[in-house]
A and B are shown apart, each in its own frame.
Chain A
Amino acid sequence: MQYALLIYTRPGATEALSPDEQAAVHDEYMTLRKEPGMTGGASLHAVETATTVRVQDERMLVTDGPFADTKEVFAGFYLLEADDLDAATEIAARIPAARLGGAVEIRPVVTGPS
């Protein structure tokens, strides 16, 4: 099965760490990318760089900031091929954001016609 591991971080959580710890966290993210089954993913710039667009009555409405104003912000994702939810959960639990005040949302990816 294919899963998207959606990474939500708490802004400032990583910055609060020492430079060495930040480097270690960065390495963890890099190591996870090489995990068997990892097929893709992306890391996003800080939420301050986000732009949100909506269309109402054919008028484009562009606003500064993220879609949802939440304490944790969407920061990136991995795409993972795993046997089942338990296997995906074990990988997700190793994503640093999960223990640094953020969370990882596991979503199965639609594959093929359903």
Chain B
Amino acid sequence: MPVEQVFRDEWGRVLACLIGYFGDFDLAEEAAAEAFAAAAQRWPSDGTPDNPGAWLVTTARHRGIDRLRRDRVLAAKLRLLAAEPSGQEGAEGKEGEDDVAPTAIPDERLELIFMCCHPALALEAQVALTLRAAAGLSTEEIARAFLVPADTMKRRLTRAKAKIKLAGIPFAVPAAPRQPERLAAVLAVVYLVFNQGYGDHQDRSGLAAEAIRLGRVLAALLPAEPEALGLLALMLLHDARRDARFTGEDLVLLADQDRSRWDRSQIAEGRALLDRAWRRPGPYALQAAIASLQTESELDWPQIAVLYGELADLTGSAVVRLNRAVAVAEAEGPAAALAIVDSLDLPEYQYWHSTRAELLRRLGRADEARAAYGDALARARTAPERRFLQRRIAES
């Protein structure tokens, strides 16, 4: 396996383990960075160790302890280290993979992710921190993905880490009564990352893939949480259609997509996860079920409308009701759908206007349709969407 791949895969786990050990984000991050640098130097000539994660953690612990020793201001922390219960390997150990059993490396990535997605941090900080700490992206990569200057992103991360430390944001999986809402926040961050990547025709940032990777970690660590499985299923089912969603930079509607370009194995994996999530389906599982139905060769629009209805009841979201209207248009016709659309209060939402326009067009109300496409165009944010709407206006 190439060193870079090992690095990406191991970073979150190694960093989590070090934060658990040192109780200090900055120290853990610096120590981890040193260990990864040492690995980059040595592994190509010495060969990748059998257990790269254990090697990295052990090396980083030693580097971190050395750093603590050198840093007199942190003398208090050394006293803490001296008080470590016996059984932890001492600071005297030789650097390398031999002095630690793989089982001694705990998997604390959940603690790390819950800390990064703590509601006491601003959402944009949660996203940045999760990508930096759990997914192992560099500050520059995150800055590029979110189109902000690298300095801005660096300050955002620094502020977030300072708040974690000063406000005492815990490195912990929240207690049971608070866990559902906290897990929802974690999943929302992962899904936001996914959508940031998925909205770009080439996903140059690779964020969709990073979100799926994080989703896999969560699904593996929380195998009994239907929504963790549901989110991963949802992302896989959407991502499976990625290659068919654009021609050049232009969006291709679902009905017009070249199905031979869909990733069948990803669809199968998404469906298998969905089966497991279906015991207690939440919003993500319902959306995944809809996405799954949309990959069938014959679309079951009445069933899709039912699922959107359940999702709307669960979330109370007007946007979901708008999506239900689209399914109703196919199942019952545009008139029934337009009645639903007109009952929704979404005057600033681009897709409310474009959906209305589409329904009016199908009802033969061309003038109203053109006006509605214009209202959608005024609110469209991406070039492919604007081109699509302009074509529609020209055609109607």
Q: Which residues of chain A from 78 to 109 have any CB-CB distance to chain B below 8 Å in the complex? A: 82-86, 88-89, 106, 108
Chain A residue at smallest Cβ distance from B119: A89
Indicate the size class of the contact surface on chain B. Answer: 10 to 19
B170 and A83 within 8 A (CB): yes
Chain B residue at smallest Cβ distance from A88: B168
A86 and B178 within 8 A (CB): yes
Interface residue ranges, A against B (CB under 8 Å): 1, 3, 82-86, 88-89, 106, 108
A84 and B172 within 8 A (CB): yes
| Least CB distance, A82 to chain B, in whole angstroms | 8
Point out the residues of chain B lying under 8 angstroms from A82, CB to CB.
168
A86 and B174 within 8 A (CB): yes
| Least CB distance, B45 to chain A, in whole angstroms | 44
Binary interface encoding of chain B residues 165-194 relative to chain A, with 1 for a CB under 8 A from any of its CBs, else 0: 011111010110010000000000000000
Contact of A108 among B168, B170, B175 (CB under 8 A): B168
B120 within 8 A of A: yes
| Least CB distance, B364 to chain A, in whole angstroms | 52
Chain A residue at smallest Cβ distance from B182: A86
A84 and B166 within 8 A (CB): no
Chain A residue at smallest Cβ distance from B73: A113
Chain A residue at smallest Cβ distance from B114: A86
In the bound assembly, the distance between CA atoms of A88 and B170 in angstroms comes to 11
Point out the residues of chain A lying under 8 angstroms from B175, CB to CB.
86
Point out the residues of chain B lying under 8 angstroms from A86, CB to CB.
169-170, 172, 174-175, 178
In the bound assembly, the distance between CA atoms of A88 and B320 in angstroms comes to 36
Contact of B166 among A83, A89, A108 (CB under 8 A): A108
Sample of 18 more A-B contacts, CB < 8 Å, known A1-B168, A85-B169, A108-B167: A3-B168, A83-B168, A83-B170, A84-B168, A84-B169, A84-B170, A84-B172, A85-B118, A85-B167, A85-B170, A86-B169, A86-B170, A86-B174, A86-B175, A86-B178, A89-B120, A106-B167, A108-B168
